[in-house]
Amino acid sequence: MGRYLIPLVLFIVLVVFLAIGLGRDPHEVPSPLINKAAPGFQLPQLKDPSKKFSAQDMRGKVWLLNVWASWCVSCREEHPLLLEYSRTAAVPIYGLNYKDQREDAIAWLGELGDPYVLSASDVDGRVGIDYGVYGAPETYLIDRNGVIRFKQIGAVTPDVWEKKILPLVKELNGNKFQGIN
């Protein structure tokens, strides 16, 4: 019996490691930008390109930056949830329209509804590269000081919204009052 114990333990360890490895999504690459300053940008607004939108404008606010495109299938999947969340006004959602055609993007919002306070056009994907975007949708939660606090790769799910984003938003908004007192 004793002589089988060590191989058995090694086997179980191996199985546990493999099981963890299989359970992971290889597309979820940990972002090095968490707890770093959100890269600055200034881009034309999607609906009115004569106006600019800059990350700097959002200082002092807790906000979500959602990377989307009309060609992105998962964005379509995520969209009804974003619409619902935008109605609760828990946190303002801004869009980064990533590598898209302006007309397509506007038509997409017209057809499905617009959950965004506004969207900025990143036509050539340069801001996307600065944010480490490698697949839409991606969502960044940015705090008052312009620091990225959370990144969701892939569609936001109700689970992520309830358990990750909302508690963090609450915490980050709470900090303001502590700061003032």
Q: Which stretch binds another protein (CB under 8 A): 58-66, 109-117, 130-138, 157-165?
A: 130-138
Phi-psi region of 113 (alpha: psi -120 to 50; beta: other; left: phi over 0): left
Contact map string, positions 24 to 43, toward another protein, x by CB under 8 A: --xx-xxxxx----------
Q: 63, 85, 131, 140: which one contacts another protein (CB under 8 A)?
A: 131
* Residue 14 in contact with another protein, rule: CB under 8 A: no
Question: What DSSP line would sit under the chain, residue for residue?
Answer: -HHHHHHHHHHHHHHHHHHHHHHS-TT-PPPTTTTSBPPP-EEEBSS-TTSEEEGGGGTTS-EEEEEE-TT-HHHHHHHHHHHHHHHHTSS-EEEEEES--HHHHHHHHHHH----S-EEEETTSHHHHHTT--SS-EEEEE-TTSBEEEEEES---HHHIIIIIHHHHHHHHHHHHHHH-
Q: 51, 52, 59, 126: which one contacts another protein (CB under 8 A)?
A: 126
Nearer to another protein, 44 or 125 (CB): 125
Q: How far is the CB of 2 from another protein (least distance, A)?
A: 15
* Residue 134 in contact with another protein, rule: CB under 8 A: yes
Q: How far is the CB of 78 from another protein (least distance, A)?
A: 19
Q: How far is the CB of 66 from another protein (least distance, A)?
A: 18
Nearer to another protein, 17 or 54 (CB): 17
* Residue 77 in contact with another protein, rule: CB under 8 A: no
